[in-house]
Amino acid sequence: MGVLETLLVTTAIAGVGGTGVGGLIGALLQKDSTRTVSLLLSFAGGVMLSVVCFDLIIEAIETGVGIMVVIGAIALGVIVIYLLNYLIDRNTNPEVPHIDENHPTTADDLDELIHSDHYKQHYAKHDNRFALFVAGMVMACAIALHNVPEGMTIGASYASNEGVMGSSALMLAVLIGLHNIPEGMAVSVPLISGGMGKVKSVLMTALSGVPTIIGALLGYLLGEIGALGLALSLGFASGAMLYVVFGEIFPQAILMHHSKIPAFSSIAGILVGMLIIFG
């Protein structure tokens, strides 16, 4: 199997496979899985945070392009993912009755965070299939946004190892695959509660993992340009992942289980990540 084929197959298993498995588990367990999903998400977020801070960013700095270039790439990753999320929110929030000028500027419910409330509104009004399809695609795009930088981390790490699936890239693929399982669970449950069939919800959840493959390809191709391209790829992916962890994964975990336990779970994830990297 060629270089690109190996990369694409690996990220497909991590992205589509992990999210799809999570969607299937969520469809079977449904609402009873809320606490478990919260703890798994916070733990996975902690592991990813550890990998970004102690592996990817350090690797970007070691390319020798200069610390300001790396910082700039990280900041760009944060800004791009934030703006994409902002655009989706701005175009969908007016369609949800309870979101008005008195509503907090950030999501205060899991359904809002993944935009399943948008889909539910169309379903409750018995809108036509096309409207439901568009609403479903909007939600899938919101979910898929952070799968692109996840894929980029694998692709950039793969490029830094000269096209060989080394331990770092493989570890990232495994971690992202495991992280996508609770994420898929978090997605499929509100879809089903909103009226979507179990099979269809699992398929849509799995499809939201496809951008992981696109991200891996972008990360690899950019990383192949040279030291500057590799630093930009690693930095951008790291920044995007930092926003995803702090802006999406941790809020999801807390919204699903209001307690201090997700905090302890995320700290445990950070320590496990350090053990994997330096152990």
Q: What is the reported pLDDT for 112?
A: 73
CA–CA dist 77, 57 (Å, integer) = 12
Q: What is the DSSP letter of 63?
A: T
Question: Which amino acid is present at 259?
Answer: S
At residue 6 the predicted structure's pLDDT band, cuts being 50, 70 and 90, is confident
**pLDDT tens column, 78-101:** 999 888 888 877 877 777 777 777
CA–CA dist 134, 130 (Å, integer) = 6
The residue-averaged pLDDT of 113-121 equals 71
The residue-averaged pLDDT of 160-178 equals 71
Q: What is the reported pLDDT for 79?
A: 94
CA–CA dist 215, 40 (Å, integer) = 23
Q: What is the mean pLDDT of the chain?
A: 81
**Between 106 and 76, where is the model more confident?**
76
Q: What is the reported pLDDT for 192?
A: 76
CA–CA dist 117, 72 (Å, integer) = 35
Give alpha helix (H) positions in 194-260: 198-207, 211-223, 227-244, 250-256
